[in-house]
Structure 1
Amino acid sequence: MATIEETNVTVVRDYLAALGNGAAGDALGRFFSRDARQIELPNRLNPKGGESDLATLLKRAEQGKTLLRQQHFDIRSVVAQGSHVAVEAVWTATLATPLATLPAGAAMKAYFAMFFEIEGGRIAVQRNYDCFESW
């Protein structure tokens, strides 16, 4: 029988794999509680940071599908304690459309620290600290 930590890590790994495979709508929403919050700390793409509810998070995932040709999360480390899971990952993506000074087809890379709070087998809170390589 899996521990709560193992179960929660599986939820997060499955979520990141689904996101990398372009999941959106119900295929992505199934990972989140109805009152989920995603908090993005300030970064190059979002200088002011922000907080999204589930509806906004799912809308942004749909928008991401038009912006990105592909994306992948290379998980470098995972630490779990009770309902909390911390992930260090390297994110790579290929743009489907131009972004800032980058043309369509350009590669992007960022280093992510993501902190999740899991409730009832679903993500209730996700906090992202995203460090993008220069472009």
Structure 2
Amino acid sequence: MSTPNLDIARRFVQAVERGATAEALRPFFDPALSHHEYPNRLFPKGVKRDVQAMLESSEKGQKVLSSQRYEIRGAVASGDEVALEIDWTGTLSVPLGTLKPGDTLHAMIGQFFTFRDGRIVSLRNYDCYDPF
């Protein structure tokens, strides 16, 4: 069963997968957006972002990845909350550690959304990368 917020979360993930940046992503976000990416291989101390930092991060991501794929494995929605389980792969366009351009990264991701008036006001990411 789908809900309006689940549909928005899926559209957001599809937009990110396509490499959407700033103006294409801005309509998804409440101006008070708070994004928390918990510690992982790429951000060992985690990172917190507001709307502007999220938009800048999308621009940087375009330079690092030549392509990416988000397969939503599971979804749960209740009121203003949505949780997604995502199987993610990304192909590098730049070197990263021991990896070279063309190599693939893989992660299982838990994404937890809170919506306000149909826009994402809070997003929490738990990105579990395969060793690289």
RMSD of Structure 2 on Structure 1 (CA): 1.1
Paired position in structure 2 for 1:100: 97
Displacement over 4 Å in runs of 4+: none
Q: Which residue of 1 aligns with 2:9?
A: 12
Aligned partners of 2:47, 2:17: CA distance in 1, in Å?
22
Aligned to 2:73, the other structure's residue is in SS state: strand
Aligned length: 132
SS of 1:30's equivalent in the other structure is: helix
Residues 46-79 of structure 1 deviation map (CA, whole Å, 9 limit, x = unaligned): 0000110000010010000000001111000000
Long gaps (5+) in structure 1: none
Amino acid at match of 1:67: V
Give unmatched runs, 5+ long, in structure 2. none
Q: Distance in 2 between matches of 1:26 and 1:37?
A: 18
- Structure 1 match to 2:123: 126
Cα distance in 2 for residues equivalent to 1:90 and 1:125? 21
TM-score by length of 1: 0.95
* Letter of the 2:61 counterpart: G
Q: Percent identity?
A: 39
- Opposite residue 36 of structure 2, the aligned amino acid is I
Q: What's the counterpart of residue 89 of structure 1?
A: 86
TM-score by length of 2: 0.97
